Amino acid sequence: MTTEYKNKLEKYISYLEDHNFEVTQLRAETQFESFRDWSVVGDLEMFSSWFLEQQKNCQMTIEDIPLSECNGWNIDPETGWVSHKSGEFFVVQGVRVAFTADREVSGGWDQPILTQVGFDGGLLGLLRKRIDGVPHYLVEAKAEPGNPDKVQISPTLQATFSNLKQAHGGRKPKFSEYFEFPEKNDGTVLFSQWMSEDGGRLHLKRNKGMLVEVPEDTQLEFTGNFYWASLYQLKELIKQNSWVNPHIRGIISHL
């Protein structure tokens, strides 16, 4: 696979250069990766089976409760805003919107909105590593309480800065060091950009999306909810309803 992948990639790049296409090495290779499934870990059916098994085995339960009963969260008696006792994470506040002649409600409106403490939400990082010379991407089957089917295919790292500071009192998010300090961990940053979020529900929020490549001989230890996927597989599974979360879609959209 290594020799076939390398030879055909070189021919593809030569073709682009011979026809005066101005593309970077990364752009050319990620285009090439998308043409067929080069995975040496498992085919698309295996990846799909792994994900469905992760959904099936998820033990997380979600129960609707009153805001006033959320442990660790307080309602300010003066503002009515809801915030965490640590002062981190996010605040549920109100906003009044005016001068909206070009919107559906021309006279403006009031609404609650989520405000991330510090406004910058967090790090959304995807690790890239070659296995037998072929690029693969480390994804996580991650459960979130608001997901339609609880578990979605998510980036390697999906953490707010409050999570990274361990304001919740829990453990440091796995693989965070490759995105907080990529150079110290032999990582090469292929993409790093602040990305906006849904401004209709989230107040001034943005997340930093990152794609970091680590050397092929890097040994990464992870549990069964992580998987090395090919770019072809990720793009194919975007066709499935609610399988691939928006953060992965945002990171790979530049490829």
Mean per-residue pLDDT over the chain, rounded: 93
- The predicted model scores a pTM of 0.92
What pLDDT was estimated at residue 1? 60
- In this predicted structure, the answer to whether residue 119 has a pLDDT above a threshold of 80 is no
What pLDDT was estimated at residue 162? 77
Q: What is the mean predicted confidence (pLDDT) over 40-44?
A: 97
Please state, for a pLDDT cut of 70, what percent of the chain lies above it: 98
What pLDDT was estimated at residue 169? 64
For residue 1, the SS3 value is coil
CA distance 137 to 154: 11
For residue 120, the SS3 value is strand
- Nearest Cα to Cα of residue 86 among 167, 199, 201, 155: 167
Answer CATH for 39-60+119-252 from 3.30.70.250, 3.90.79.40, 3.30.70.980, 3.40.50.300:
3.90.79.40
Helices 2-18 & 25-33, crossing angle to 10 degrees? 120
User: CB neighbours of 228 closer than 8 A, spacing ≥ 6?
Assistant: 39, 41, 129, 131, 136, 137, 138
Contact 177, 184 (CB under 8 A): yes
SS3 content of the chain, % helix, strand, coil (to 5): 25, 30, 45
- Nearest Cα to Cα of residue 222 among 142, 147, 164, 123: 142
- In this predicted structure, the answer to whether residue 25 has a pLDDT above a threshold of 80 is yes
- In this predicted structure, the answer to whether residue 88 has a pLDDT above a threshold of 90 is no
Q: What is the mean predicted confidence (pLDDT) over 58-84?
A: 94
pLDDT grade for 167, boundaries at 50, 70 and 90: low
Structure-token match 């770019």, residue found:
231
Q: What is the mean predicted confidence (pLDDT) over 128-154?
A: 96
What pLDDT was estimated at residue 171? 78
CA distance 150 to 237: 17
pLDDT grade for 145, boundaries at 50, 70 and 90: very high
Please state, for a pLDDT cut of 90, what percent of the chain lies above it: 81
What pLDDT was estimated at residue 166? 77
- In this predicted structure, the answer to whether residue 168 has a pLDDT above a threshold of 80 is no
What pLDDT was estimated at residue 122? 85
What pLDDT was estimated at residue 99? 94
